[in-house]
A and B are shown apart, each in its own frame.
Chain A
Amino acid sequence: MLKRVISQHLIAVFAAGLVLLNFPLLMLWDKDIQVFGWPLPAFGLFLLWAVLIVLLAWIMESNGD
């Protein structure tokens, strides 16, 4: 039961990552703005990436064996 919940979460995160880290959604970040010195496109990519890692860590570490 628990295993099934983990796999559903993982598949959902995977799908979200695939869509968010591809086009056309990435184009939303293509603006001439700097955030913390970083140009927005690069900043957006790294931010999404980091969020993905945090989500993954949360799913994997919060479900004990």
Chain B
Amino acid sequence: MLSPILVIGVALAYLLILFAVAYYADRRAQAGHSVIDNPWVYALSIAVYCTAWTYFGSFGTAVSGGVWFLPIYLGPTLAMVLGWLVIRKMIRIAKTYRITSIADFIASRYGKSSLLAGLVTLITIVGIVPYIALQLKAVSGAYRLMTTPPGIGSGAAVSWWSDGTLYVALLLAGFTIMFGTRHLESSERHEGMVAAIAFESVIKLMAFLLAGFFVVYGLYDGFADVFTQAMAQQELKDLLSFTQNRTFPYTQWFSLTLLAMLAFIFLPRQFQVMVVENVDERHLRRAVWVFPLYLLLINVFVLPIALGGLLFFGADTVNPENYILALPLAQGYELLALFVFVGGLSAATGMVIVEVIAVSTMVCNDLVMPMLLKTRRFARRSGGDLTGLLLLIRRVAIIGILLLGYLYFHLAGEAYALVSIGLISFAAVAQFAPAMLGGMYWKGATRHGALAGLSGGFLVWIYTLMLPSLAKSGWMSQDFLNEGLWGLAMLRPEQLLGMSGLDNLTHSLFWSLFVNISLFVTVSLWRRPSAREASQALLFVDVFQRSPVTHPVFWQGQAQVHDLLQLTERFLGTARAQRLFTRYARESGLNDIEQVPADAKLVQFVETQLTGAIGSASARVMVASVVDEEPLELNDVMRILEEASQLRIYSQALEEKSASLEQATRELRAANQQLQSLDRLKDDFMSSVTHELRTPLTSIRALTELMLDDPQMEAEQRQQFLGIMVTETERLSRLVNQVLDMARIEAGHAEWHNSDVDMLEVISQAVNSIQATYREKGAALVVDAPAQVGTIRADVDRLVQVVLNLLSNAVKYVPDEGGKVIVRLQDEADGITVEVTDNGPGIDPQRQAVVFEKFRRVEDEDNDPGRQHKPGTGLGLPISRQIVEHFGGRIWLHSQAGEGACFGFFLPRQAQKNGGDNNEQNGTDCG
């Protein structure tokens, strides 16, 4: 045993650490670095689902029923599979309409009904009080175990003021007040609290796993050892099978799974952490699988610890719910026991803090405020800041709920196992399922339907589950249990209408949900919804189809900006209200609050802001009190919706139009760029042509003038001049021919005389005609070709022109001494490749791209004075390219500076029409 001072000291220290975590997170949030804006923290905060029930209660179930503790965790896992569809929709709705509690969600959906909000709150309080009692029971039980010497029964009666549970309750109340109601937030988000809850989730998992390792590997020799020892006993062997030697209660397994699935979504604390405190919808994407993983991890050791405890202590000596503490204590591992105790404390406090904050918000917004607003005196007392009052109501509510929990613990807690208490609460919140899910997916659900369903389900729950639990703990006569109300056997609460064979939980769940759903659907179908219900139904069901721009605003009437601002100030404080209005004005593109038009949109904005602070029903009443409203009829709703959808269609069309305009602009810009570059090319071409024409013209003119001025010129001189003039004229006509040729080919007007061409013939023709030039320059010309090649369909003269071009190009650049040009011909299956390789200076890779452009001789790009201007028109290669491409081939250049150049072209055997680009890559390398 440990000294009470130590245990209490550690517990208090732990609570202080929690508070420090929360304080730190709040500070970070104020500095703009949210700690909880993280999918992992979000997933851990959802693990507030695991309470003292998981931490202690599971062992009770495992010892009496084997794997029966699992449906409570399989249900939420299945719920999370659909989380991305269902929970995300809840988050979107809650964020869009600033809904801060489950009561407000239901009330808001059914026309902002304060009656419905109150009913949901009432059900929640009645349903959740046993759950809070469970946590108090667990903490006080654990504390007693830690501080009681072994051997003394822990059930010794103590007077209520000395058993400590009351103080635990009050301490937790104080703590919750510090966590949850330090200041009023219109969005009801609590950064610090969520961070602390996520921290608690880590602690409780660590403590649980540590205890598990201790039992499985410390006390026993691994999982196999525990299970083998257990299986050796027939009783335990039966426990570990599904059937356990009796007819298996299938229905109970299914109803427990269903119950846990519904409770997981609709418990107030789960709604708080999953929906209200959610920072970013996308966090859900990870949380949907991380949270089930957390559940799996925390459950892995439940069976081994339960069996280990049973084997170690024997049956009926130690309460199985305390095994996780009792085993380390019995072995003298007090430090471990203390850590496990802190883990249990984490589980209990986490649940209490979040649950009580959520419920206190509901009590304040959905129960007390509507009642206050109904009293004349309060409504008349206009003006004055009410934020203080709101906080006060919440604080009182927190203390009240915890004291109720304590009361239930005293009345009924001792008689019941933790799990049974928890299941009673689960069954209560499961009653919200029809109204919630129906409201989210069925537009026809009405306020009356929801009211009828909820009340019916709740009454059946009270009669078949709550009252029997009180009766069994001895606070009521059990007569009605055994004989039925007024002695009518048909009304026995656990065999309603004589239905037997079900356990009491399944029985109650079936009847309550049956009554609930039947009433909800029947009454909803009975009457048409009112205008306000219809409009809210549209907003909820179609939440994913709305964007802020096309959001329909279901309100009509007259309002004053001043009145609305004053109203907001009353509930949110002057500074906040001013800030909100200024932001609203800025977002509408206005400079000043004064300029804001008092239209339906502003009224909607104010109502939404107030909803965050006082709930939708109260916000509706308050807004209605300061504006001059015209009642909304069903056809008004239809009209507004029609306008909104028109607006949506219009904005969609606008978006599409602007997208297509953008596309057109892009295309135009590209076309323009292409045109500009073509224009530049044309200019370049013109200037090159004129330049090329001018050079021979200048020399012809100079020579002619000389001869004209000097009639007595010697015949020899005259002959020489005339010779030059003839050469220059030839050059001119060649140039003009080439330009014309080029233009014809480009324009597609060239004449092609196609025949079956033997490439060997072509090459020898070209070589023969240029042989003289090579001989003059003293360069060697080598032809490397097979003896015979296949023919291709092409124009002989054009091909000779191409080869000649390449050969004359090559000879221009070979060195004066030892120049060498190799012509290589390769015959392949799909075509013929011709390559002309020289041993000249080569061409830089950067310049290779331009050689096939008109008039772009390589040396033009080069400022190297060592290179001389070579004769030529600069049109040879471009024309060659046009010709080769006309026959469906391609032409290329491989070169490295200083290593010579290799021009090559490939002609396919099957010529392609119009000579498009041949995409087939030819990988021949020059060498």
**Interface of A with B (CB < 8 Å)?**
6-7, 10-11, 13-14, 17-18, 21-24, 26-27, 29-30, 32, 34, 36-39, 41-42, 45-46, 49-50, 52-53, 56-57, 60-61, 65
User: Is B293 close to A, CB under 8 A?
Assistant: yes
Check A14 against B82 for contact (C-beta < 8 Å).
yes
- Supply 12 A–B pairs (Cβ within 8 Å), ascending by A: A11-B82, A14-B82, A18-B78, A21-B74, A22-B250, A30-B241, A32-B241, A42-B67, A42-B240, A52-B292, A60-B285, A60-B288
Cα distance A52–B282 when bound, in Å? 21
Contacts of A13 in B (CB 8 A): 81
Partner of A45, one of B67, B225, B227, B237: B67
Q: How many A-B residue pairs have CB under 8 A?
A: 105
| Distance to closest chain A CB from B457 (angstroms) | 23
Q: CA–CA, A23 to B252, complex, Å?
A: 10
- How far does the Cβ of B222 sit from chain A's closest Cβ, in whole Å? 7
Are A53 and B82 touching (Cβ within 8 A)? no
Are A41 and B67 in contact (CB-based, < 8 A)?
yes
B312 at the interface (CB under 8 A from A): no
Is the CB–CB distance between A14 and B296 below 8 Å?
no
A52 and B77 contact, CB distance less than 8 A:
yes
Are the C-beta atoms of B74 and A37 separated by less than 8 Å?
A: no
Interface residue? B108 (CB, 8 A)? no
Asked if residues B300 and A46 are in contact (CB atoms below 8 Å), the reply is yes
| B222: A residues at CB distance < 8 A | 37
Cβ of B207 under 8 Å from chain A: no
Q: Is the CB of B81 within 8 A of A14?
A: yes
- List of A residues within 8 angstroms of B85 by Cβ: 7, 10-11
* A40: min CB distance to chain B, Å: 9
B651 contacts the other chain (Cβ, under 8 Å)? Answer: no
A2 → B minimal CB distance (Å): 12
Measured CA separation A30–B70 after assembly (Å): 16
- Interchain CB contact under 8 A, A34 and B253: no
Interface residues of B in 263-288 (CB under 8 A from A): 282, 285-286, 288
Q: Is the CB of B289 within 8 A of A39?
A: no
When distances are taken between beta carbons in the complex, the residues of chain A under 8 Å from B84 are 6-7, 10, 60
Residues in chain B near residue A42, CB distance under 8 A: 66-67, 240, 303
- Would A10 and B81 count as touching, CB distance under 8 A? yes
Could you tell me if A27 and B242 are in contact, using CB atoms closer than 8 angstroms?
A: yes
Q: Does B719 contact A (CB under 8 A)?
A: no
* A37-B228 contact in complex given A7-B85, A22-B254, A53-B296, C-beta closer than 8 Å: yes
Residues of B contacting A53 with CB < 8 Å? Answer: 77, 289, 292-293, 296
Instruction: Note all chain B residues with C-beta closer than 8 A to A11.
Output: 82, 85
Q: Is B223 an interface residue (CB 8 A)?
A: yes
Are the C-beta atoms of B292 and A41 separated by less than 8 Å? no
Given the known A-B contacts A7-B85, A34-B228, A53-B292, are A39 and B254 also in contact in the complex, defined by CB atoms under 8 Å? no
Indicate if B649 sits at the interface (CB-CB under 8 A): no
Q: Is B77 within 8 A of A41, CB to CB?
A: no
Determine how close the nearest CB of chain B comes to the CB of A44; give it in whole angstroms.
9
Closest to B250 in A: A23
B100 interfacial contact with A, CB 8 Å: no
Question: B286 touching A39 by the CB < 8 A rule?
Answer: no
Q: Annotate B74-96 by CB proximity to A: 1 below 8 A, 0 otherwise.
A: 10011011101100000000000
Given the known interface contacts A10-B85, A36-B224, A53-B77, the answer about A45 and B70 at a Cβ–Cβ threshold of 8 Å is yes
Known contacts A14-B81, A34-B228, A37-B228: does B296 contact A26 (CB below 8 Å)?
no
Please tell me if the beta carbons of B78 and A37 are within 8 angstroms of each other in the complex.
no
B895 at the interface (CB under 8 A from A): no
* In contact, A57 and B289 (Cβ under 8 angstroms): yes
Q: Once the chains are docked, how many angstroms separate the CA of A11 from the CA of B77?
A: 13
Query: Judging by beta carbons under 8 Å apart, are A17 and B223 in contact?
Result: no
Q: Which chain B positions have C-beta within 8 A of A10?
A: 81-82, 84-85
**Nearest CB of A to B719, in Å:** 84
Most A Cβ at <10 Å: residue of B77, B84, B286, B292: B84
Q: Say yes or no: is B243 at the interface (Cβ < 8 Å to chain A).
A: yes
Which residues of B803-861 are within 8 A (CB) of A? none
Query: B78 to A49, Cβ gap below 8 A?
Result: no
Q: Is the CB of A56 within 8 A of B288?
A: yes
A36 and B286 CA atoms in complex are apart in Å by 30
Name which residue of chain B comes closest to A13, CB basis: B81
The 3 closest A-B pairs by CB, nearest first: A37-B224, A57-B289, A37-B223
With A and B bound together, what is the CA distance between A53 and B66 in angstroms? 23
Known: A42-B67, A42-B303, A46-B300. A52 touches B242 (CB 8 A): no
Assess whether B289 is in contact with A56, with CB atoms less than 8 Å apart: yes
Question: Smallest CB–CB gap between B512 and chain A, Å?
Answer: 21
Question: Which of B66, B70, B81 has the most A CB atoms < 10 Å from its CB?
Answer: B81
Least CB distance from B503 to A in Å reads 15
Instruction: For the complex, give the distance between the alpha carbons of A30 and B237 in Å.
Output: 12
B724 at the interface (CB under 8 A from A): no
Closest B-chain residue to A17, C-beta based?
A: B78
- Nearest CB of B to A34, in Å: 6
A residues in contact with B254, CB < 8 Å: 22-23
Q: Are the C-beta atoms of B253 and A41 separated by less than 8 Å?
A: no
B248 sits at the interface (CB 8 A): yes
Q: How far is the CB of A53 from chain B (nearest CB, A)?
A: 5
Q: B224, A56: Cβ atoms under 8 Å?
A: no
| B873 at the A interface (CB under 8 A) | no
Please report the C-alpha to C-alpha distance between residue A49 and residue B72 in the assembled complex, in whole angstroms. 13
Q: A6-B84, A17-B81 are in contact. Are A60 and B241 (CB under 8 A)?
A: no
> When the two chains form their complex, are residues B296 and A46 in contact, meaning their CB atoms are under 8 A apart?
yes
CA distance A29 to B67 in the complex (A): 12
C-alpha gap A23/B224 in the complex (Å): 27
Extra contacts besides A49-B77, A56-B80 (16): CB < 8 Å: A14-B78, A22-B254, A26-B242, A27-B243, A27-B248, A34-B224, A34-B228, A36-B224, A39-B227, A41-B240, A41-B242, A42-B240, A46-B296, A53-B293, A56-B292, A60-B285
Smallest distance from the beta carbon of A46 to chain B beta carbons, Å? 7
A39, B288: Cα distance in complex, Å: 29
Q: Which residue of chain A has its CB nearest to the CB of B261?
A: A18
Smallest CB–CB gap between B234 and chain A, Å? Answer: 12
Q: Which residues of B contact A65 (CB under 8 A)?
A: 282
What residues on A are CB-neighbors of B757 within 8 Å?
Answer: none
Which residues of the partner chain A approach B288 to less than 8 Å between Cβ atoms? 56, 60
A19–chain B nearest beta-carbon distance, Å: 11
Chain B residues with Cβ below 8 Å from A61 are 285-286, 289
Find out whether the CB atom of A30 lies under 8 angstroms from the CB atom of B243: yes
- Residues of chain A within 8 A of B253, CB atoms compared: 22-23, 26
CB closest residue in chain B, given A50: B296
CB-CB under 8 A from A57, the residues of chain B are 289, 293
* B257 interface hit (Cβ, 8 Å): yes
Interface presence of B412 (CB below 8 A): no
Given A27-B242, A45-B70, A60-B285: A39 in contact with B78 (beta carbons within 8 A): no
Contacts of B241 in A (CB 8 A): 30, 32, 39, 41
Chain A residues whose C-beta falls within 8 Å of the C-beta of B67 in the assembled complex: 41-42, 45
Residues of A with C-beta under 8 A to B82: 10-11, 14
Contacts of A49 in B (CB 8 A): 74, 77, 292, 296
B870-918, CB < 8 A from A:
none
